[in-house]
């Protein structure tokens, strides 16, 4: 039978964040990036719907999509 020494370090990863404030900042930055990208995609889709503007609307849609982070 194999000995099991139950080393907890084998199961628990090291802490990624130094403190709660840093974790909060990382979460807020990630949240804002997601909201920004989703909003820019919505704007680009509206430009895609403007068929009467032709290539100009398509160019604006590409420009807006390139603003994503």
Query: Are the beta carbons of 45 and 62 closer than 8 angstroms?
Result: no
- The pTM (predicted TM-score) of the whole model is 0.68
Q: If pLDDT is split at 50, 70 and 90, which confidence band does 6 have? A: low
Give yes or no for residue 21 having a pLDDT over 90: no
A 10 A CB-CB count for 44 gives 20
Q: What is the mean pLDDT of the chain?
A: 85
Which has more pLDDT, 4 or 46?
46
- The pLDDT assigned to 44 comes to 97
Cα separations in angstroms, 62 against 22, 36, 52: 34, 16, 17
The C-alpha R_g of the chain, in whole angstroms, comes to: 23
Average pLDDT over residues 34-50: 96
């Amino acid at each position: 039978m194999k000995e099991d020494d139950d080393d907890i370090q084998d199961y628990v990863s090291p802490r990624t964040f130094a403190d709660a404030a840093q974790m909060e900042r990382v979460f807020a930055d990630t949240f804002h990036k997601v909201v920004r990208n989703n909003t820019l995609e919505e704007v680009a889709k509206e430009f895609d719907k403007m068929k009467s503007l032709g290539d100009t609307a398509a160019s604006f849609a590409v420009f807006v999509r390139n603003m994503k982070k």
